[in-house]
Amino acid sequence: MCYAIPGKITEIKNNIVTVDYFGEKKKARNEFHNLTIGDYIYAQGGFVIQKIPQKEAIPILETWQELFFELQKIDMRLAREPKNLYQIANSVRQKHLGNACCIHGIIEFSNYCRNNCLYCGIQNENSRLKRYRMSIEEIVNSCEYAVKKLGFKAIVLQSGEDLWYDEIELTDIVVKIKKKCNVLLILSIGERKFEIYKKLYQAGARGVLLRFETGNPELYQKYRPGHTLKERLKLIRKLRTFGFLIMTGFIIGLPDQTEQDILNDIELTGSLGTDMFSFGPLIPHPQTQLVNSSLPSLESVLTTVARARILYPEAKILVTTSLETLDKKNGARQGLLSGANSLMINVTPKKYQKLYEIYPERACIDSGITGRIKSALNLLRSIGRAPTDIGI
C-alpha cells in the first residue's frame, strides 16, 4: 500500500527541489538526501522523504497514471456548481489544492499524563484508566512496521505529557526511527521545553502536533488548570519559527464557548502559520468533569471545517478521529466534502489502542489496521481524492 506518488525532480535550487507529478509541478525541501535532476523521490508535508530508484518508480507511475486522472474527474464533478456552504468550501479546496489528500499514521505510545485537562479522558486524576507505556523498542518497531510494511510516509508519535520519556529517551526514539525509516516524523508530546524540541529536530523530527484547544484565555485557564494560553502560544510560535511543521487547532463544543470564540479560533490557527489545521468536537468522557456536557452537532463541526477552508484556501485541514466518532458512518466523508483534505489512521499496536481513551468509543478502534486503511482508501477513491501529499 502506498500513500504517496513518486515524482521526478526537474530543478534544484539550494535545498528546494521542483518535482513533476503527471505534469503538475510541486516544490519540497530536501534535508536528508543527495539528489540530482532526474531522480525520483517521495515527498510528504513539503519534505523529501525518500529517494526511489527509477526502475521502482516507473511501474508505480504507470499504475497510477490512468487512475490519477480518473480521480481528478470525480473530484471536479463533486466540486462543480456549489449550492451551500459545505459545497462552496469543497469547491475552494478543489480550486486551490486539487484532489490531493494526505494520510498520516499515528502511534499512541503512552497514556500517562501529568495534566488534569477537564475534557481529557487520560487526565492524571482518572484512576480508573489502565495505564501503559510502550518501550523504546516497541515504538521503533511499530513505526518501522507502519512505514515498511503498511506504506506510510508520515507518522505522528503521540502521548500524554508523560515526563518518564525525558530528553534522552525521546531523542533515542527519534534517532533510531530515522536510522531505520524514511519517514516524516511528527511529535505530539505536549508542552516540553523548547530546548528539548530543538534537540529532537536535530535528531530528525520535523513536525509538531500541539493544539491550543481554545483561544479564549479564560476558558483555557478553566479547562487546562495550571496552564496559560500565553505560554502555549509562545511555544507554538517558537517551534514554527525554528522550522517545525505545525499542526494545531482547537476543540469545538466546550461549555461556555461562543460562536465568536470558534471564529476567533479559526483565525488564531491561521495566524500561527499553521501547516495543518486540527480541530474536532468535544466528546465528553465519563471520568472527566465535563461528563454531563452536550455533544456539539455534526453541522457545527462541518461548518467550522468549511469556514476554515474558505478563509484559508491552501491550508491542510484534518478530519479528526473525534469528527469520525461523532458520526461513525459518514463523518469522515462529510468532513472531506466540507473542505478537509487529510486523514489520520491509528497504527498503535492493538493491545494498547483502547487504552488511549481521550474520549470514549473512538471510531475505527474495533477494526484492524489493514481494514482501516482499506476503508480510508475506498472512501478517498469514491470522492475522487488521490491519497497523496505532494509537497508545497
pLDDT one-digit tens code per residue, 25-43: 889 999 889 999 999 999 8
DSSP classification of residue 387: S
Whether residue 56 lies inside any domain: the answer is yes
* CATH classification of the domain holding 293: 3.20.20.70
pLDDT band at 210 (very low <50, low <70, confident <90, very high): very high
Is residue 17 scored above 90 in pLDDT? yes
* Same-domain status, 70 and 144: no
Whether residue 311 lies inside any domain: the answer is yes
Residue among 313, 309, 295 nearest 266 (CA): 309
* Same-domain status, 318 and 209: yes
Could you give the number of structural domains in the chain?
Answer: 2
Residue the block writes with cell 517521495: 42
* Same-domain status, 346 and 373: yes
**pLDDT value of position 64:** 86
Whether residue 39 lies inside any domain: the answer is yes
* CA separation for the pair 270, 50 (Å, rounded): 29
* Same-domain status, 294 and 224: yes
pLDDT band at 3 (very low <50, low <70, confident <90, very high): low
Whether residue 18 lies inside any domain: the answer is yes
To the nearest whole percent, how much of the chain has pLDDT over 70?
98
Residue among 253, 270, 272 nearest 262 (CA): 253
Query: What's the whole-number average pLDDT of the chain?
Result: 94
* Same-domain status, 49 and 136: no
Is residue 366 scored above 80 in pLDDT? no
* CATH classification of the domain holding 11: 2.30.30.140
* Same-domain status, 123 and 272: yes
Instruction: Say which residues have a Cβ less than 8 Å from residue 83's Cβ, sequence separation at least 6.
Output: none
* Same-domain status, 73 and 102: no
* Same-domain status, 71 and 101: no
* Same-domain status, 240 and 311: yes
* Same-domain status, 67 and 216: no
pLDDT tens digits, 287-329? 999 999 999 999 999 999 999 999 999 999 999 999 999 999 9
pLDDT tens digits, 266-280? 999 999 999 999 999
* Same-domain status, 38 and 103: no
Read off the pTM.
0.94
Query: For 58-72, 134-148, 212-226, which range has the lowest pLDDT when averaged over its residues?
Result: 58-72
**Among 80, 112, 141, where does a domain finish?**
80
Whether residue 88 lies inside any domain: the answer is no
Instruction: Say which residues have a Cβ less than 8 Å from residue 377's Cβ, sequence separation at least 6.
Output: 1, 387
Is residue 167 scored above 90 in pLDDT? yes
Whether residue 371 lies inside any domain: the answer is yes
Whether residue 68 lies inside any domain: the answer is yes
Domain that holds residue 255: 95-382
Whether residue 205 lies inside any domain: the answer is yes
Kind of pairing, strands 40-44 and 47-52? antiparallel
